[in-house]
């Protein structure tokens, strides 16, 4: 797998043992934290810098990080928490795994700075259970940081104390939803909470909590070291910075590519070596499996940033780009995705619990030559009745792939229903 | 109740120390994982012990063990192989990998070989799609960029363990 280094996230990759604390320090690591503590930089100044950077949440929602941080009641006298969401289970996404593997200290420094800014005394990093070697690596990195005085009481001789702990998941996609993740840290089933109250007022253990994605927090040291303006200028207005795009599927070189926000999709595809075996591009899911699919020709006109992909009718999401060539049957692709949401629905809300299974069964029968003429209207209706009617976004995430497929590839579904077989004859899958 | 070894208890204590003193329940996911590594699966007796150790109601522990799919709530073979078949892996040939495993082991997804050596299960996204196709061996070891030769070599290696 290929990793394209960049200035913000994979900035130690060219050095030997890029994951080590000493390597990170030699590349300017922990200097932002040192400066903040030595000069007692006020939280307002840090939040203003993050706002200037136009850093938007890298976990999928794209919410402005500086604004999110400003919601935290910093003066609240009791315990407060910063939580990192490294529960990376959105099909197509595998960037946080490599961030933690190759640059764990960027995340740790980012979390310490966040803890300082938000008045948190502790942080938890929730790591996807399936990437066990990464969890163990993060445990080592946290120990390394603690031994060097970056974590614990009176960090670097200041009066700021903060500690950081890793918590692992164990196989539940829903825990990537932030309130399900909090429930999971509390030792419960990962079922999302009603909002409001939002985590900023009632979060982990009922205390004010801010939750950010791994890549978001790992971008903070660069912003504080080099300035929010410089980060912004790496990308484009309203879409600051570089971003790691995980490219999977039918490309010659799958991998993680740290490139400026706003890079044309065509350039990213070229970096990834183009389509495998000289085949033609058919379709792209541009932001993880929950993002509506887009036909290749629409993607070729897009740039990789939140605004461009949204304008084309999909989402940049987590930056997980699933590339499909001309041999893919879209009915079969949707059948597998629908099964995923059915399998991972937590069962709390009726529209999602019943609707995901219903959608899967309908797509399954279409794929297996038993589709009925009325099935596509039925899918439209079921998807429309899940979206927006559940506690968390998993309902929408299950509906959007169905809606995207029916919007752009309805003819393939109709063909399946009418002829009881696939329109795509070459059929790699 | 089924006791855990001193080594396992020491590991659980280390996890408990990560959380506020009045939040021992936060260590339940780790405690169940550690118990499973020792016992191979989570019997009611083992879960009851974890509940007692953490000061939780047994039902709260069962809820966690049944909600997260990496816990084995039934006995499994010595080697549990979990193959991701989600879309990015499927695009890269996960179905062929799964078929090869089913054929060589003579079992379907959700089954265990008669000699209790292997259990085969279908997994969901493991967050490593750039390395597709892939599988997990007993939850904690990932095998990436699978092909038929690698599958054959892996089965040979595990058979002799």
Alpha helix stretches (DSSP H) within A254-349: 265-271, 296-299, 306-311, 330-344
Q: Which of A307, A314, A266 is nearest to A287 (CA)?
A: A314
pLDDT tens per residue, range A46-88: 999 999 999 999 998 899 999 999 999 988 899 999 999 999 9
Q: Among residues of chain A, what percentage have pLDDT more than 70?
A: 99
pLDDT for residue A416 is more than 70: yes
Peptide bond before A155: cis, by omega within 30 degrees of 0? Answer: no
For the cut 70, the answer to whether the pLDDT of residue A429 exceeds it is no
Which chain B residues are Cβ-neighbours of A320 within 8 angstroms?
129
Q: Is B9 on the interface with A (CB under 8 A)?
A: no
Please, where are the H alpha helices in A303-349?
306-311, 330-344
- Place A123 in a pLDDT band, splitting at 50, 70 and 90: very high
Q: DSSP label at A198?
A: P
**Residue A407 — very low, low, confident or very high, per pLDDT cuts 50/70/90?**
very high
pLDDT for A171-205, tens place per residue? 999 999 999 999 999 999 999 999 999 999 999 99
Buried b (16+ CB within 10 A) or exposed e, A109-136: bbbbbbbbbbbbbbbbbbbbbbbbebbe
Q: What percent of chain A has pLDDT above 90?
A: 95
> Considering the domain B79-159, what is its CATH architecture?
3-Layer(aba) Sandwich (3.40)
Please tell me which residue, A238 or B158, carries the higher pLDDT value. Answer: B158
pLDDT of residue A231: 97
A166, A122 Cβ separation under 8 angstroms:
no
pLDDT at site A428: 56
Determine contact: B92 vs chain A, CB below 8 A: yes
Judged by CB atoms closer than 8 Å, whether chains meet at A131 and B20 is answered as: no
> Over A71-100, what HEC string results?
CCCCCCCCCCEEEEEECCCCCCCCHHHHHH
pLDDT, residue B46, reads 97
A278 CB-contact burial (10 Å; exposed 0-12 / middle 13-18 / buried 19+): exposed
- Number of A–B residue contacts, CB under 8 Å: 164
When CB atoms are compared, the residue of A130, A187, A248 closest to B88 is A248
Q: Do B129 and A205 touch (CB under 8 A)?
A: no
State whether residue A360 sits within 8 Å of chain B by CB.
Answer: no
> Mean pLDDT, chain A, as a whole number?
96
Q: A238 pLDDT exceeds 90?
A: no
Domain boundaries, chain B: 6-67, 79-159
Residue of B nearest to A248 (CA): B130
pLDDT score of A75 = 86
C-beta contacts of A201-208 below 8 A and 24+ residues apart: A201/A73, A203/A81, A203/A83, A204/A81, A204/A83, A204/A124, A205/A79, A205/A81, A205/B20, A205/B23, A207/A78, A207/A79, A207/A80, A207/A81, A208/A72, A208/A73, A208/A76, A208/A80, A208/A81, A208/A118
pLDDT of residue A323: 98
Helix, strand, coil shares of chain B as percentages rounded to 5?
Answer: 50, 10, 40
- CB-based contact A336 B71, cutoff 8 Å: no
The three-class DSSP label of residue B18 is coil
pLDDT band at A426; cut points 50, 70, 90 = low
- Selected residue of A93, A143, A187 to mutate for chain B interface (largest B Cβ count, 10 A): A187
Fold agreement between B6-67 and B79-159: no
Mind listing the pLDDT tens digit for each residue in A320-369? 999 999 999 999 999 999 999 999 999 999 999 999 999 999 999 999 99
Say if the Cβ atoms of A189 and B64 lie within 8 Å.
Answer: yes
The fold for domain B6-67 equals Arc Repressor Mutant, subunit A (1.10.10)
Check: pTM over 0.80? Answer yes or no.
yes
Residues of chain B with pLDDT under 70: 1-2
What are the distances in angstroms from CA A215 to CA A69, A120, A206, B119?
16, 20, 25, 35
Please judge whether B29 and A167 are an interchain contact, meaning their C-beta atoms are less than 8 angstroms apart. Answer: yes
Q: Residue A338: what are its φ and ψ, rounded to 5°?
A: -65, -35
């Amino acid at each position: 797998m290929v990793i394209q280094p960049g200035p913000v996230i994979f900035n130690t990759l060219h050095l030997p043992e890029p994951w080590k604390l000493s390597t990170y320090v030699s590349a300017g690591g922990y200097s932002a934290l040192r400066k903040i503590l030595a000069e007692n930089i006020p939280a307002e100044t840090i939040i203003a810098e993050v706002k200037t950077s136009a850093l938007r949440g890298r976990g999928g929602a794209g919410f402005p990080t500086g604004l999110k941080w400003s919601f935290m009641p910093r003066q609240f006298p009791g315990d407060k928490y910063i939580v990192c969401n490294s529960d990376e289970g959105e099909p197509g996404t595998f960037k946080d795994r490599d961030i933690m593997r190759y640059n764990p200290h960027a995340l740790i420094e980012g979390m310490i700075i966040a803890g300082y800014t938000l008045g948190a005394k502790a942080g938890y990093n929730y790591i996807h259970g399936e990437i066990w070697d990464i969890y163990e690596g993060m445990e080592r990195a946290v120990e390394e940081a603690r031994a060097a005085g970056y974590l614990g009481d009176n960090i670097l001789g200041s009066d700021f104390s903060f500690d950081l702990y890793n918590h692992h998941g164990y196989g539940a996609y829903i825990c990537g939803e932030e309130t399900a993740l909090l429930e999971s840290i509390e030792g419960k089933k990962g079922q999302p909470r009603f909002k409001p109250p939002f985590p900023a007022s009632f979060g982990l253990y009922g205390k004010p909590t801010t939750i950010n994605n791994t890549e978001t927090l790992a971008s903070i040291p660069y912003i504080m070291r080099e300035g929010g303006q410089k980060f912004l200028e790496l990308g484009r207005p309203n879409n600051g910075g570089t971003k790691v795009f995980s490219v999977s599927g039918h490309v010659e070189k799958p991998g993680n590519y740290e490139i400026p926000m706003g890079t044309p999709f065509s350039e990213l595809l070229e970096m990834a070596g183009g389509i495998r075996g000289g085949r033609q591009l058919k379709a792209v899911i541009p932001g993880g499996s929950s993002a509506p699919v887009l036909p290749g020709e629409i993607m070729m006109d897009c740039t990789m940033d939140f605004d461009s992909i949204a304008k084309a009718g999909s989402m940049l999401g987590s930056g997980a780009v699933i590339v499909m060539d001309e041999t893919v049957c879209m009915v079969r692709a949707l059948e597998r995705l629908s099964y995923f949401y059915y399998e991972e629905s937590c069962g709390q809300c009726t529209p999602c619990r019943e609707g995901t299974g219903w959608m899967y069964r309908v797509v399954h029968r279409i794929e297996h030559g038993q589709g009925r003429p009325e099935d596509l209207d039925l899918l439209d209706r079921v998807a429309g009745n899940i979206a927006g009617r559940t506690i968390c976004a998993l309902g929408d995430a299950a509906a959007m792939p169905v809606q995207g497929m029916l919007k752009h590839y309805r003819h393939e579904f109709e063909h399946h229903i009418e002829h009881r077989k696939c329109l795509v004859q070459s059929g790699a899958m | 109740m089924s006791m855990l070894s001193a080594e396992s208890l020491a590991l659980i204590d280390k996890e408990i120390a990560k959380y506020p003193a009045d939040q021992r329940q936060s260590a339940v996911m780790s405690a169940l994982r550690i118990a499973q590594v020792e016992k191979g699966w989570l019997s009611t007796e083992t879960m009851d012990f974890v509940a007692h150790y953490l000061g939780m109601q047994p039902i709260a522990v069962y809820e966690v063990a049944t909600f997260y799919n990496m816990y084995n709530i039934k006995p499994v073979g010595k080697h549990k192989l979990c193959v991701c078949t989600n879309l990015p892996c499927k695009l890269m040939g996960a179905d062929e990998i799964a078929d090869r495993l089913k054929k060589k082991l003579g079992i379907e997804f959700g089954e265990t070989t008669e000699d209790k050596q292997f259990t085969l299960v279908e997994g969901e996204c493991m967050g490593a799609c750039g390395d597709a196709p892939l599988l997990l061996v007993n939850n904690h070891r990932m095998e990436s960029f699978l092909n038929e030769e690698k599958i054959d070599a892996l089965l040979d290696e595990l058979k002799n363990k």
